Amino acid sequence: MACPACRLAYDGSFHLPRLARLEAGHQQLAERILLAGGNLKEVAGALEVSYPTLRKRIDGLIEALEALRGDDDALGESYLEAVERGAMAPEEAARRIKELNGGA
């Protein structure tokens, strides 16, 4: 991960939160929904689309998040299996699983 403006770089093994891994269009839609307080009529008006079109976009956003969550769940399971095999320390697996879940 690097900042082109200040040329600061962070190199290592880390996992970005799900929302940060969404494609740009889904990120923008999620931001609009949040800033509108969930008012879909306001979001549809701002995007100049009909409610059914907005609903379809939201469904795509939901599917993308569910897919990322499934990927993260599978990765978490692989960490647990690595602990069972003795290939990973339990503390490391716990840290990684916590990171997958946004630090919560």
In a domain, 96, yes or no: yes
The DSSP code for 6 is: T
CATH number for position 54: 1.10.10
Provide the pLDDT for residue 101: 83
Q: Tell me the pLDDT band of 104, cut-offs 50, 70 and 90.
A: low
Q: Who has greater pLDDT, 62 or 104? A: 62
The pLDDT tens digits for 17-55 are: 899 999 999 999 999 999 999 999 999 999 999 999 999
Provide the pLDDT for residue 11: 83
**Do 41 and 54 contact (CB within 8 A), yes or no?**
no
Domain region containing 44:
18-100
The pLDDT tens digits for 43-95 are: 999 999 999 999 999 999 999 999 999 999 999 999 999 999 999 999 999 99
The pLDDT tens digits for 2-18 are: 888 998 988 876 778 89
In a domain, 37, yes or no: yes
Name the token pair of 33: 């929904």
In a domain, 29, yes or no: yes
Please tell me the pTM assigned to this model. Answer: 0.79
In a domain, 81, yes or no: yes
In a domain, 4, yes or no: no
Domains in the chain, number: 1
In a domain, 8, yes or no: no
